[in-house]
């Protein structure tokens, strides 16, 4: 018992001597070290909380669309005993990235770069590519192949939409059918044709004869206009009778449809290409057998179709 008391008295005396020996200005037993903490722990503008990346010392915050970035007063929380400049609640211009300085109690600093942007508003739904098939027969199902739908935003960006719904199509009756594309609250429309008894619409096509011949016969076309003929149709099929076997006559014809988009060409109902022109070579077709060239396309949002019959003869 006597030995233990002597040891306790010695330890107490040693601690007193150590504290007395500490140089002035250094931490003593009764003083806490100055804090080195200098973090921004929260950054808010209105009800929007910024995303803080501590390692990069960056803060990003997206405010509602239309917010004036030139004068915003963020509410900032920092580490205990630290100070931030500009101070919390001070109005600042966030048109460009802005730097905030956080100074710890011990004088060490961190510099946070704050970027504020407006949220992006939806400008609407846009159809950038129409379906490949735009002409349908009775009771034929709709085929959306080729349809591309984009969501367009206020910053000029766009993103393709796949989760859309289509409505308004019926091939039970003939005529133009306006199809509505819906994604969320956004809508866009386009038209297709249903032809129970095929008609020709009001489409202009140009037929250009390639070669030196001048005796090719186009029924219903005035003589002397064969080199570049503008055909205006009003519900009837234009027949072309073509005699290229004579060496003075052309061996091919070119049919063009300028000013249209989402074009499709078919010969005898077989898809050929989607250019604005199609070339027909006499050598590819049996003599005296009727063939058809079919054109489908859009202009000013409206669908058009036209069928031309041609015969290669002696």
Alpha-carbon span 12 to 271, nearest angstrom? 102
Handedness of CA 8, 14, 17, 23 (dihedral sign): negative
The radius of gyration of the chain from alpha carbons, rounded to an integer in Å, stands at 40
Q: Is 9 a residue whose pLDDT tops 50?
A: no
Q: Is 174 a residue whose pLDDT tops 70?
A: yes
Q: Is the peptide bond before 86 cis (omega within 30 degrees of 0)?
A: yes
Alpha-carbon span 58 to 182, nearest angstrom? 39
Residue 41: C-alpha distances to residues 21, 34, 38, 68, 79 (Å):
39, 19, 9, 25, 7
Q: Is 46 a residue whose pLDDT tops 50?
A: yes
Q: What top-level class would CATH report for the domain 204-312?
A: mainly beta
The predicted pLDDT at position 66 comes to 82
Above pLDDT 90, what percent of the chain?
Answer: 36
Q: 206-210, 277-281, 306-310: which range is least confident on average?
A: 206-210
Contact between 283 and 251 (Cβ < 8 Å): yes
Alpha-carbon span 17 to 234, nearest angstrom? 115
The predicted pLDDT at position 240 comes to 47
Which of 3.40.190.10, 3.20.10.10, 2.60.40.2340, 3.40.1440.10 is the CATH number of 40-118? 2.60.40.2340
Alpha-carbon span 24 to 22, nearest angstrom? 7
Q: Is 35 a residue whose pLDDT tops 80?
A: yes
The predicted pLDDT at position 243 comes to 43
User: In the predicted model, what is the mean pLDDT of the chain?
Assistant: 74
Where does the pLDDT of residue 265 fall: very low under 50, low under 70, confident under 90, or very high at 90 and above?
A: confident
The predicted pLDDT at position 137 comes to 82
**Residue scoring higher pLDDT (81 or 285):** 81
Q: Is 199 a residue whose pLDDT tops 90?
A: no
Above pLDDT 70, what percent of the chain?
Answer: 68
Alpha-carbon span 71 to 74, nearest angstrom? 10
Q: Which CATH architecture has domain 122-194?
A: Sandwich (2.60)
**Which span out of 47-56, 156-165, 213-222 was modeled with the highest average pLDDT?**
47-56
Sequential DSSP letters for 276-306:
SEEEEEGGGS-TT--EEEEEEEEETTEEEEE
Contact between 10 and 41 (Cβ < 8 Å): no
- Calculate mean pLDDT across residues 236-242: 42
**Residue scoring higher pLDDT (155 or 98):** 98
Judge if 40-118 and 204-312 fold alike in CATH terms: yes
**Which span out of 77-81, 128-132, 189-193, 234-238 was modeled with the highest average pLDDT?**
77-81
The predicted pLDDT at position 206 comes to 42
Domain ranges, ordered by start, for the chain: 40-118, 122-194, 204-312
Q: Is 60 a residue whose pLDDT tops 70?
A: yes
- Calculate mean pLDDT across residues 279-290: 71
**Residue scoring higher pLDDT (71 or 135):** 71
- Calculate mean pLDDT across residues 132-141: 84
Alpha-carbon span 245 to 286, nearest angstrom? 12
């Amino acid at each position: 018992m006597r030995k233990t008391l002597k040891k306790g008295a010695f330890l107490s005396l040693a601690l007193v001597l150590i504290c007395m020996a500490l140089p002035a200005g250094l931490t003593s037993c009764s003083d806490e070290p100055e804090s080195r903490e200098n973090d921004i722990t929260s950054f808010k503008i209105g009800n929007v909380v910024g995303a803080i990346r501590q390692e990069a010392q960056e803060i990003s915050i997206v405010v509602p669309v239309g917010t004036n970035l030139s004068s915003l007063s963020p509410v900032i929380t920092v580490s205990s005993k630290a100070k931030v400049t500009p101070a919390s609640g001070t109005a600042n211009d966030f048109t460009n990235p802005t730097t905030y300085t956080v100074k710890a109690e011990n004088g060490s600093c961190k510099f946070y770069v704050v970027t504020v942007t407006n949220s992006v508003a939806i400008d609407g739904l846009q159809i950038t590519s129409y379906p490949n098939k735009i002409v349908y027969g009775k009771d034929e199902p709709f085929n959306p192949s080729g349809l591309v739908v984009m969501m367009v935003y206020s910053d000029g960006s766009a993103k393709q939409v796949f989760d859309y719904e289509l409505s308004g199509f019926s091939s039970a009756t003939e005529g133009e059918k306006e199809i509505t594309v819906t994604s969320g609250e956004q809508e866009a429309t386009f038209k297709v044709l249903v032809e129970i008894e095929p008609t020709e619409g009001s489409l202009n096509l140009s037929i250009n004869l390639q070669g030196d011949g001048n005796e090719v016969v186009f029924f219903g076309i005035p003589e002397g206009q064969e080199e570049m003929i503008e055909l205006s149709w009003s519900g009837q099929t234009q027949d072309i009778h073509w005699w290229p076997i004579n060496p003075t006559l052309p061996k091919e014809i070119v049919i063009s449809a300028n000013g249209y988009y989402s074009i499709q060409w078919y010969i005898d109902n077989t898809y050929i290409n989607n250019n604005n022109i199609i070339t027909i070579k006499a050598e590819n077709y049996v003599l005296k057998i009727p063939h058809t060239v079919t054109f489908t396309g859009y202009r000013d949002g409206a669908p058009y179709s036209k069928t031309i019959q041609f015969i290669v003869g002696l």
